[in-house]
């Protein structure tokens, strides 16, 4: 829910203490606003009361009388209060005043209420800059001018004709202005003006590719009229602006203004350079202007000899062939690079980086580029850190734009890694990384030892060192970069996980090595002895390098960092590096497992996901598995499911591992029954990948004794884990209660059976081991959970022949049915066919798992068609007299149902192709037409909004059809024709023309079968719908309920809502926060919803009552016209398309203890 | 005056009673004022008579700085201020000031009431002492007097532990106290900026150790506890009330939260409860996670950890109990231990070091039958675990800190001599820094360069900046400012020559040196001059040479060629006294031509 700023606050002062009561408007579901009222003080919090009407004076008096007055008199019995209010209309109404008169002495309203604070409203006239320009001329002080300029930049909108004069006026003002801040603002405005103009004429595709363009373009009308005419003009204008800016800068002395001027030039320059392909000609114009200007500029201002020498070089260049694009710009930099202010220098370097020509492959171009690069490099030694940083950044930009950096600079850049300032270190780090990636094989000689190493290794070591940096940002950057250095030698890589432990000068094994050793020596139980981690051999004091150990332990350090940003970046880096390096993956495993114990859940999840990714390289040992399984007990569903995925993907070392794993999973299932599905999936995968190991374990798992029959466990044993899982197994068990009970009774967990059966597919010998009841279980499970239990060749074939789903057949069947409908000889036959196939398809969608989406879609489509036909046939809807009678409500209900079904077709299915969608749209159009006719003819409510909506939909459908090149159905075609002739858009005439069309319309065949269609659905895992144990909470407060659900094939997540239906027939919708939706990593169509639902008892009931929670797609936002006219009703809201059956939650409010 | 002297009164090649005297720039500073827990006689306090043989130390000490609340860093403070006599300023951080008196009072009680020590400070002494304390916050720069400035940095070791940067004039020293470079569950890692002090006085408790990742130990700790409570056992964790206890509590609390465990966790009351309140208050001193989440819930508002009552000892079922003291030598922890030891389901986890002779030490060494006074024997069947959680920097951490703050010298204290020796060689080898490790009472004199601050007039600087900005920066190029050094009263100032003249009211005189040479060169004088120009061009490459008719001028040097009767040419060389060097150089060149 989004809370809009409170509309009204009142403060009541009972002698020195403040009580604040507050009415707030809650914007819920974008459209509907809800008014709420509450009071709070230091002592007490009153409940939040929702007001189901608009704030009126009557209601206000009620609140004052029923809520405020008792509240005040209980809290402050002797108190004498003043009410301070804000003069809102309802506070000053007569009845309110009367009430205060009546209760004089209890609550007193001040005689002269304080005035409401008024903010100066913004100028909104015209919205064009032209208006402001006029104001600018009139303003007297600099401050005023600045205000106006700020407003101008806020509403950057103007007519093309004005542009020239606007720029001119701005320039004039610039020259008169004494205040540097105002001049700066003018320059920035000039920059953004040209950006606005320059970007607009482009085609939408190109403008999308320019992320820097933030401003909203002018209203549509404007854009359309200008689109053709303005195109060349506006870009032509830009050189003029450039010209102006350069001109203005000439006499400027303030560093700030110059810096802004250069950055404006940069924005314009970027604009021009990115447009080179499209507007070659314009650019060359711009270039010429620039050339002329800059020469003038440089000659007149500079007398520095080195600039003139540069000038000569470029002069010759320009003379030869127009100069390379924007070489001229560099002059600005040479001029201004010599400025003493760091800001100016930074801007210049940025400009150089962004605009230096690199595209031309001609030798002089490249030579200039290299020379400039060198020059920029020199600024890496500047005494101002910001300039140093800008210089490195410019080098980086140039590198990205294609100027190759020279490996020679490596040493210099490395020196910058020790800079005092983190901004410099960051940029230098990026450069080191780039150099490492570009010249991996170059040889670097280490300064002290004369040893030669590859450049990439050295760079890797340097970046590793940055993991010890003082600044967190640098550490994060270093960790991120480390992950991408895949070319590093294994020797260096492996060091990152080795800290070279020692204790009192003796070499020490890390806990990981210890456990490995214990493992291999067969002595597996540690921790019992005091000091079993005693250090072993002595370390030679000289051989220990504490500091300059390069990459040594970099990741260990990063994983232990104080900041989660660093830790998660490190986990990510370790994962990335492990992907290509199996050996490193094995080493990293222990460290990643350690991260399961991190204090931040995101980091834990990340570690688990990383482990899943690298699982193909590793084989888990028992000790490692033990730690991993420990994390299974985690309370967070995400962590547990992540672990299930991880376990499913990994490779276990021995059969003991498998045993441990199965035990842990079963235990876990006992504790968290919600994890049923993901545990079974995990066990299925485990069984498939570890078939041989499972074979050894079958006797233990299934409790088979080699010689004896084991006694049957007690059937009614409630502690049996299977019972828990079987209760939830689904409705399947109802069909065969006997068998279900038998499995329960055996105490044999479904989980284990899933594992064993999955393994048996790979390892048929296992089947011989199964006892008779196991085989029975097999056939039962195979029937209920075909996706988890594979087909086995059971000997003796005691199992019933099973229905094997045959995908091709279903699709063909569907095709056949639809084809038959399409080529039905007559309307009557078609109708009959449709009736028959609707039933068939609906049933098939339930029993066939291959293409349920397509089946459901077709069935629903047919159903809607038939419903429509029924409605049209009885003609009731067009006769007002008939509607007034009993049938009226039936008709209304049917029409609403029809509309809902159309909306379902449109919004609850994904993967619709153009044909499907157009068919759905046309069907909806028909339904809307019917609705409109009904409203106009059969009821007295206003149809204006509905008609408007209908026309919009017609427009939309027409556009859609023409865009996708499909032919409209006869009804739609006729509709377009009729409405095209229609001039008046009032409901009456529209209905007049619709009526004959509707009467003449026929059934249209459903679209061809499209197997890509998937239907959206949701399963609520939590709350579980168990109403036996009510949730107790204090009355007047809210209670949080965990909502855990899995959504499949969700269309637009923004339309997803949770609906809570209260026993008093009220329904509340709430939006889902985007961060509560977690897409499933291995299947993007599945989305996991984890959220806390806030429920209250609304102060209307006091007993334990059930509340229904369901998920749905809310279409009221997109189909606004419909909702507005037809309204929405609590429980049977036609505009909320349900995704799942509601789940019951039992709430039991407890009494508030009075007199705390 | 210019040397910095450091004299450890305690903690020199030793652990315990940290007390270091620092004298620098005429100021004397006492860093920490701790007591030794191992002694009961006068050796427990530092030898204050070293400062002033018999009397108050007011005139000898300018300020006292306390790094954190551990007693080996602040235990002797009340004695020093109230008994020995010192009334100057004492600086510590807010949490230290809050918690130190609790600990001092507790120790005083033990010493006086239990051991019957008479020569000890009183409760009132502690209160009086605390009144003299001035608190500082992190990164706040405090001027003790006009010359002495101090600033605190985060040290991580315990709540409120700080490193102090101390500056007098242009000399500065960093004193680390105890610090920790790896973050733990409730505190962050030590942090300092590149302050480049003259000396870094660092602790070196773990000078010869590089530690394994903390995560393994935490994981082990949690796993053991979880296993024990799963089998219904009781877990006893003897802890010292402050510091580690809070870390372990947070660790357990988050684990309980995460695993949704319901087994009760208890905390032996008393000191701890009081201290926990302070932990709740000083959230800004804790680590990222606690700082970020305290708005929703203060992590020290334990949800699962409740105060312990003695009646709970015999409660059935699993439980976890934190109880002090940490070495099982007395009090609640020993009481519980006696009750629980005979059951093999139970477990005791020793989270720290135990002194020889305590029960803790005995059980760690595997003794299964322990005798108590009164012929009482207890069979130890419960499992005994050792888990070290130490909050000192290891060798790598110390080196890292040195790298961070880039000192000119390093001085090691608070550690064992042999271990220091190793670290000392490492520091000298890897950083090429001088490293010292004075023993108690030994004065270490560290020479430092003399820096004389000179103020420069803005105009001069700007001119220079303008000139140097003309060219792309080049680290090798020298940047020269030309001016007059004017000495006023005490300060010195570099001024432009003209400006200085004006201010002093002196007309500016220039002295020129002139020298005449005779050259043997036939031909007209212009030819000779041209030859000379060429020569000078080759010899003086970087300087602009102007040439008109008979005069060559280089900067202020003027060379004039005059023709005399025969082939002899007279060459005048004249230069300003500022260009003395250039002038004589040119003269040399010309002379070489003559020969």
**Three-state secondary structure string covering A502-516:** EECCEECCCHHHHHH
* Å between B157 CA and nearest CA of chain A: 14
Instruction: Check if B203 is active-site.
Output: yes
pLDDT of A1136 reads: 83
Distance CA A636, CA A608 (A): 13
For chain A positions 288-327, those within 8 Å of chain B (CB to CB) are 304, 306
If you measure CA to CA, which chain B residue comes closest to A387?
Answer: B473
Which of B263, B392, B396, B429 is the best mutation test for A, with the most CBs of A within 10 A?
A: B396
pLDDT of A125 reads: 42
Q: Which residues in chain A are contacts of B428 at CB distance < 8 A?
A: none
Among partner residues B208, B216, B430, which is closest to A504 by beta-carbon distance? B208
pLDDT at residue B359 tops 70: yes
Among partner residues A383, A530, A545, which is closest to B473 by beta-carbon distance? A383
Please tell me whether residue A41 adopts helix, strand or coil conformation: coil
* Å between A501 CA and nearest CA of chain B: 5
pLDDT digits (tens, 9 = 90+) for A703-734: 776 666 665 544 344 444 444 344 444 433 34
pLDDT of A109 reads: 52
For residues B12-40, give the mean pLDDT: 87
Residue A894 CB-density burial (10 A; 0-12 exposed, 13-18 middle, 19+ buried): buried
pLDDT of A326 reads: 42
What angle is formed at CA A355 by the lines to CA A354 and CA A359, rounded to 5 degrees? 105
pLDDT of A30 reads: 43
Distance CA A565, CA B469 (A): 39
Q: Where are the domains of chain B?
A: 4-210+390-446, 214-386, 455-504, 512-594
* Å between B208 CA and nearest CA of chain A: 5
- What global pTM score does this model have? 0.74
The answer to whether the Cβ–Cβ distance between A635 and B183 falls below 8 Å is no
Distance CA B406, CA A211 (A): 43
For chain A positions 320-379, those within 8 Å of chain B (CB to CB) are 337-340, 375, 378-379
Q: How far is CA B174 from CA A49, B92, B404, B451, in A?
A: 60, 15, 12, 19
pLDDT of A355 reads: 67
pLDDT digits (tens, 9 = 90+) for B86-142: 999 999 999 999 989 988 888 888 778 777 777 788 899 999 999 999 999 999 999
Among partner residues B216, B226, B469, which is closest to A339 by beta-carbon distance? B469
If you measure CA to CA, which chain B residue comes closest to A334?
Answer: B470
pLDDT of A77 reads: 59
pLDDT of A763 reads: 82
ipTM of the complex: 0.83
Residue B476 touches chain A, beta carbons under 8 Å = no
Residue A667 touches chain B, beta carbons under 8 Å = no
Residue A562 touches chain B, beta carbons under 8 Å = yes
Q: Which residues in chain B are contacts of A531 at CB distance < 8 A?
A: 364, 386
If you measure CA to CA, which chain B residue comes closest to A375?
Answer: B472
**A654-659 contact pairs (CB < 8 A, 24+):** A654/A622, A654/A693, A655/A693, A655/A696, A655/A697, A656/A622, A657/A620, A657/A621, A657/A622, A657/A625, A658/A686, A658/A690, A658/A693, A658/A694, A658/A697, A659/A697, A659/A700
For chain B positions 314-373, those within 8 Å of chain A (CB to CB) are 364-366
Among partner residues B216, B430, B474, which is closest to A548 by beta-carbon distance? B430
The CATH class of the B512-594 domain is alpha beta
Q: Which residues in chain B are contacts of A499 at CB distance < 8 A?
A: 210-213, 396
If you measure CA to CA, which chain B residue comes closest to A379?
Answer: B473
pLDDT of A717 reads: 42
The CATH class of the B214-386 domain is alpha beta
For chain A positions 461-480, those within 8 Å of chain B (CB to CB) are 468, 470
pLDDT of A48 reads: 59
pLDDT of A738 reads: 41
**Runs of H (alpha helix) within A275-381:** 280-301, 305-321, 329-337, 342-355, 363-379
pLDDT of A238 reads: 64
The answer to whether the Cβ–Cβ distance between B469 and A527 falls below 8 Å is no
Q: Which residues contact A210 (CB under 8 A, 6 or more apart)?
A: A199, A274
Residue A561 touches chain B, beta carbons under 8 Å = yes
Distance CA A611, CA A608 (A): 5
Residue A518 touches chain B, beta carbons under 8 Å = no
The answer to whether the Cβ–Cβ distance between A381 and B399 falls below 8 Å is no
Q: Which residues contact A1038 (CB under 8 A, 6 or more apart)?
A: A1094, A1095, A1096
Q: Which among A390, A386, A381 is positioned nearest to A348, based on CA atoms? A: A390
Rg (CA), chain B: 36
If you measure CA to CA, which chain A residue comes closest to B467?
Answer: A338
Among partner residues B208, B218, B426, which is closest to A597 by beta-carbon distance? B218
Q: Which among A693, A683, A757 is positioned nearest to A725, based on CA atoms? A: A683
Q: Which residues in chain A are contacts of B190 at CB distance < 8 A?
A: none
pLDDT digits (tens, 9 = 90+) for A349-372: 777 777 666 655 455 566 666 777
Distance CA B148, CA A918 (A): 83
List chain A residues with pLDDT less than 50: 1-9, 13-18, 24-31, 110-127, 197-233, 276-330, 333, 361, 521-536, 713-748, 798-800
Q: How far is CA A255 from CA A237, A294, A346, B470, in A?
A: 27, 19, 11, 16
Residue A884 touches chain B, beta carbons under 8 Å = no
Residue A792 touches chain B, beta carbons under 8 Å = no
Q: pLDDT category, B409, cuts 50, 70, 90?
A: very high
Residue B116 touches chain A, beta carbons under 8 Å = no
pLDDT of A744 reads: 41
Three-class DSSP labels, A632-689: HHCCCHHHHHHHHHHHHHCEECCHHHHHHHHHHHHHHHHHCHHHHHHHHHHHHHHHHH
Distance CA B482, CA B484 (A): 7
Q: pLDDT category, B44, cuts 50, 70, 90?
A: confident
Residue B258 touches chain A, beta carbons under 8 Å = yes
Residue B433 touches chain A, beta carbons under 8 Å = no
Q: Which residues in chain A are contacts of B289 at CB distance < 8 A?
A: 564, 599-600
Q: Which of B203, B218, B247, B253 is catalytic?
A: B203
The CATH number for B4-210+390-446, chosen from 3.60.15.10, 3.20.20.480, 3.20.20.140, 3.10.580.10, is 3.60.15.10
If you measure CA to CA, which chain B residue comes closest to A543?
Answer: B426
Question: Is there a contact between A868 and A926 (Cβ–Cβ < 8 Å)?
Answer: yes
Residue A409 DSSP class: G
Among partner residues A381, A546, A559, which is closest to B474 by beta-carbon distance? A381
The answer to whether the Cβ–Cβ distance between A546 and B191 falls below 8 Å is no
Share of chain B above pLDDT 70, in %: 97
Residue B388 touches chain A, beta carbons under 8 Å = no
The answer to whether the Cβ–Cβ distance between B208 and A505 falls below 8 Å is yes
Signed CA dihedral, B269, B275, B278, B283: sign only? negative
Round to the nearest angstrom and report the end-to-end CA distance of chain A: 31
Distance CA B576, CA B512 (A): 5
Q: Between helices A231-250 and A180-199, what is the axis angle to 10°? A: 160
Q: Which residues contact A486 (CB under 8 A, 6 or more apart)?
A: A576, A577, A580, A581
Find which of A64-73, A425-434, B264-273, B523-532 is predicted with most confidence, using mean pLDDT: A425-434
If you measure CA to CA, which chain B residue comes closest to A465?
Answer: B400
């Amino acid at each position: 829910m989004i809370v809009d700023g409170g509309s009204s606050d009142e403060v009541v002062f009972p002698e020195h203490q403040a009580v604040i009561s507050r009415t707030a408007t809650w914007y819920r579901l974008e459209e509907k606003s809800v008014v709420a009222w509450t009071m709070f003080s230091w002592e007490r919090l009153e409940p939040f009361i929702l007001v189901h009407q608009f704030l009126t004076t009557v209601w206000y008096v009620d609140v004052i009388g029923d809520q405020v007055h008792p509240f005040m008199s209980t809290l402050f019995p002797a108190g004498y209060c003043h009410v301070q209010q804000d003069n809102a209309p309802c506070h000053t109404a007569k009845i309110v005043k009367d009430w205060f008169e009546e209760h004089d002495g209890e609550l007193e309203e001040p005689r002269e209420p304080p005035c409401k604070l008024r903010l100066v409203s913004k100028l909104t006239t015209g919205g064009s800059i032209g208006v402001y320009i006029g104001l600018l001329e009139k303003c007297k002080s600099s401050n005023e001018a600045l205000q106006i300029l700020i407003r101008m930049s806020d509403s950057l909108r103007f007519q093309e004709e004005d542009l020239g004069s606007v720029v001119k006026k701005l320039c004039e003002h610039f020259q008169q202005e004494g205040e540097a801040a105002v001049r700066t603002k003018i320059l920035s405005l000039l920059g953004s003006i040209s950006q606005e103009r320059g970007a607009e004429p482009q085609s939408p595709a190109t403008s999308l590719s320019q992320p820097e363009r933030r401003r909203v373009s002018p209203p549509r009308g404007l854009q359309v009229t200008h689109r053709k005419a303005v195109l060349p003009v506006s870009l032509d204008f830009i050189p003029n602006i450039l010209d102006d800016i350069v001109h203005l800068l000439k006499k400027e002395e303030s560093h700030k203004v110059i810096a802004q001027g250069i950055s404006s030039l940069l924005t314009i320059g970027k604009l021009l350079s990115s447009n080179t392909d499209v507007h070659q000609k314009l650019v060359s114009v711009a270039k010429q202007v620039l050339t002329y200007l800059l020469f003038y500029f440089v000659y007149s201002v500079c007398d520095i000899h080195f600039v003139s020498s540069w000038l000569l070089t470029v002069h010759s260049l320009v003379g030869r062939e127009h100069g390379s694009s924007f070489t001229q710009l560099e002059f600005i930099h040479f001029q201004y690079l010599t400025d003493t202010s760091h800001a100016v220098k930074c801007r210049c370097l940025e400009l150089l980086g962004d605009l230096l020509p690199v595209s031309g492959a001609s030798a002089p171009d490249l030579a200039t580029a290299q020379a400039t690069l060198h020059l920029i490099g020199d600024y890496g030694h500047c005494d101002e850190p910001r300039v140093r940083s800008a210089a490195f950044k410019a080098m980086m930009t140039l590198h990205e734009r294609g100027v190759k950096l020279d490996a020679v600079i490596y040493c210099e850049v490395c020196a910058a890694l020790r800079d005092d300032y983190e901004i410099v270190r960051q940029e230098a780090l990026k450069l080191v990384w780039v150099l490492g990636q570009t010249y991996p094989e170059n040889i670097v000689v280490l300064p002290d030892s004369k040893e030669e190493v590859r450049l990439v290794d050295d760079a890797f070591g340097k970046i590793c060192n940055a993991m010890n940096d003082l600044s967190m940002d640098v550490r994060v950057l270093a960790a991120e970069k480390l992950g991408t250095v895949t070319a590093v030698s294994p020797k260096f890589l492996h060091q990152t996980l080795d800290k070279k432990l020692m204790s009192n000068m003796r070499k020490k094994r890390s806990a990981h090595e210890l456990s490995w050793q214990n493992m291999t020596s067969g002595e597996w139980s540690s921790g019992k002895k005091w000091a079993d981690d005693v250090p072993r051999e002595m370390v030679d004091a000289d051989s220990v390098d504490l500091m300059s150990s390069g990459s040594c332990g970099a990741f260990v350090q990063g994983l232990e960092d104080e900041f989660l940003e660093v830790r998660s970046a490190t986990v990510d880096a370790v994962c990335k590096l492990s992907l290509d390096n199996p050996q490193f993956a094995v080493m990293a495993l222990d460290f990643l497992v350690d991260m399961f114990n991190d204090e931040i859940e995101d980091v834990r999840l990340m570690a688990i996901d990383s482990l899943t990714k690298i699982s193909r390289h590793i084989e888990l040992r028992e000790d490692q598995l033990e730690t991993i399984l420990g994390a299974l007990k985690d309370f967070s569903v995400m962590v547990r499911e992540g672990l299930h995925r991880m376990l499913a993907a990994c490779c276990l070392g021995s059969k003991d591992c498998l045993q441990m794993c199965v035990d842990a999973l079963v235990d876990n299932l006992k504790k968290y029954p919600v994890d049923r599905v993901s545990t079974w999936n995990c066990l299925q995968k485990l069984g498939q990948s570890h078939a041989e190991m499972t074979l050894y374990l079958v006797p233990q798992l299934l409790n088979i004794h080699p010689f004896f029959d084991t006694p049957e466990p007690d059937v009614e044993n409630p502690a049996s884990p299977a019972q828990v899982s079987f209760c939830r197994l689904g409705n399947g068990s109802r069909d065969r209660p006997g068998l279900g009970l038998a499995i329960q009774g055996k105490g044999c967990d479904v989980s284990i059976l899933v594992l064993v059966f999955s393994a048996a597919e790979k390892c048929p010998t296992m089947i011989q081991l199964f006892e008779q009841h196991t085989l029975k279980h097999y056939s039962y499970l195979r029937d209920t959970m075909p996706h988890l239990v594979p087909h086995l060749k059971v000997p003796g074939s005691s199992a019933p022949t099973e229905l094997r789903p045959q995908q091709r057949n279903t699709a063909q069947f569907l095709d056949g049915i639809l084809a038959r409908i399409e080529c039905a000889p007559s309307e009557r036959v078609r109708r009959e066919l449709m009736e028959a196939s609707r039933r068939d398809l609906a049933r098939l969608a339930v029993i066939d798992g291959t293409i349920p989406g397509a089946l459901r879609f077709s069935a629903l489509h047919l159903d809607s068609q038939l419903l429509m036909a029924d409605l049209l046939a009885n003609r009731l809807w067009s006769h007002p007299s008939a509607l007034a009678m009993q049938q009226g409500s039936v008709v209304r209900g049917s029409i609403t149902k029809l509309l809902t079904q159309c909306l379902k077709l449109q919004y609850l299915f994904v993967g619709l192709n153009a044909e499907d969608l157009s068919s759905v749209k046309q069907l909806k159009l028909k339904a809307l037409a019917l609705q409109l006719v009904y409203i106009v003819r059969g009821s007295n409510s206003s149809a204006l909004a509905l008609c408007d909506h209908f026309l919009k939909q017609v427009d939309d459908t027409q556009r859609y059809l023409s865009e996708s090149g499909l032919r409209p159905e006869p009804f739609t075609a006729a509709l377009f024709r009729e409405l095209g002739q229609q001039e008046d858009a009032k409901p009456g005439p529209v209905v007049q023309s619709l009526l004959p069309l509707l009467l003449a319309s026929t059934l249209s065949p459903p679209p061809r079968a499209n197997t890509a269609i998937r239907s959206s659905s949701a399963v609520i895992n939590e709350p579980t719908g168990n109403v036996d144990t009510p949730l107790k909470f204090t009355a007047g407060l809210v209670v949080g309920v965990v909502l855990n659900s899995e959504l499949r094939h969700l269309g637009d997540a923004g339309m997803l809502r949770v609906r809570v239906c209260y026993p008093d027939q009220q329904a509340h919708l709430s939006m889902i926060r985007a961060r509560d939706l977690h897409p499933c990593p291995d299947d993007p169509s599945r989305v996991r919803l984890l959220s806390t639902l806030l429920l209250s008892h609304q102060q209307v009931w006091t007993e334990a009552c059930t509340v229904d929670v369901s998920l749905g797609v809310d279409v009221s936002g997109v189909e606004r016209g419909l909702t507005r006219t037809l309204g929405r009703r609590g429980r049977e809201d036609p505009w909320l398309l349900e995704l799942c059956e509601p789940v019951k939650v039992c709430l039991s409010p407890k009494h508030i203890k009075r007199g705390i | 005056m210019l040397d910095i002297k450091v004299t450890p009164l305690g903690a020199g090649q030793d652990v315990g009673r940290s007390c270091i005297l620092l004298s620098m720039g005429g100021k004397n500073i006492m860093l920490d004022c701790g007591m030794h827990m191992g002694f009961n006689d006068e050796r427990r306090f530092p030898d204050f008579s070293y400062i002033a043989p018999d009397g108050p130390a007011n005139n000898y000490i300018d300020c006292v700085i306390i790094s954190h609340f551990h007693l080996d860093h602040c235990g002797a403070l009340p004695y020093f201020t109230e008994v020995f006599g010192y009334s100057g300023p004492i600086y510590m951080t807010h949490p230290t000031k809050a918690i130190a008196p609790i600990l001092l009072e507790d120790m005083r009680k033990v010493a006086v009431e239990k051991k019957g020590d008479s020569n000890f400070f009183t409760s009132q002494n502690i209160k009086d002492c605390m009144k003299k304390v001035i608190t500082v916050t992190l990164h706040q720069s405090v001027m003790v007097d006009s010359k002495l400035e101090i600033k605190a940095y985060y040290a991580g070791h315990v709540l409120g532990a700080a490193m102090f940067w101390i500056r007098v004039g242009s000399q500065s020293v960093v004193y680390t106290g105890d610090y920790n470079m790896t973050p733990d569950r409730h505190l962050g890692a030590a942090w300092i900026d590149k302050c480049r002090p003259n000396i870094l006085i660092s602790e070196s408790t773990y000078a010869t150790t590089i530690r394994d990742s903390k995560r393994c130990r935490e994981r082990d700790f949690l796993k053991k506890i979880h296993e024990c409570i799963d089998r219904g056992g009781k877990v006893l964790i003897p802890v010292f009330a402050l510091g580690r206890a809070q870390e372990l509590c947070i660790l357990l609390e988050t684990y309980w939260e995460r695993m949704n465990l319901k087994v009760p966790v208890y905390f032996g009351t008393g000191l701890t409860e009081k201290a926990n309140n302070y932990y709740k208050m000083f959230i800004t001193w804790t680590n990222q996670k606690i700082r970020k989440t305290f708005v929703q819930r203060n992590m020290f508002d334990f949800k699962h950890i409740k105060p312990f009552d003695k009646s709970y000892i015999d409660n059935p079922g699993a439980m976890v109990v934190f109880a002090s003291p940490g070495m099982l030598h007395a009090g609640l922890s020993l009481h519980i231990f006696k009750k629980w030891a005979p059951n093999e389901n139970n477990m005791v986890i020793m989270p720290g070091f135990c002194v020889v002779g305590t029960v803790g030490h005995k059980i760690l060494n595997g003794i299964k039958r322990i005798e108590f006074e009164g012929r009482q024997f207890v069979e130890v069947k419960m499992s005994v675990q050792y888990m070290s959680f130490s909050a000192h920097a290891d060798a790598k951490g110390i080196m890292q800190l040195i790298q961070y703050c880039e000192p000119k010298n390093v001085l090691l204290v608070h550690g064992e001599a042999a271990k220091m020796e190793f670290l000392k060689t490492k520091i000298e080898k890897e950083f090429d820094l001088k490293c010292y490790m004075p023993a108690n009472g030994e004065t270490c004199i560290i020479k430092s360069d003399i820096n004389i601050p000179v103020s420069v007039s803005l105009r001069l600087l700007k001119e220079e900046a303008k000139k140097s900005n003309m060219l792309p920066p080049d680290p090798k190029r020298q940047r020269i400012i030309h001016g007059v050094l004017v000495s006023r009263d005490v300060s010195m100032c570099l001024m432009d020559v003209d400006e200085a003249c004006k201010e002093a009211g002196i007309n500016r005189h220039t002295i020129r040196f002139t020298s005449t040479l005779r050259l043997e060169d036939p031909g007209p004088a212009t030819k000779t001059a041209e030859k000379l120009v060429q020569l000078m061009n080759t010899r003086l490459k970087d300087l602009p040479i102007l040439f008109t008719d008979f005069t060559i001028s280089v900067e202020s040097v003027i060379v004039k060629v005059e023709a005399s009767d025969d082939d002899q040419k007279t060459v005048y060389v004249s230069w300003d006294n500022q260009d003395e060097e250039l002038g004589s150089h040119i003269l040399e060149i010309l002379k070489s031509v003559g020969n």
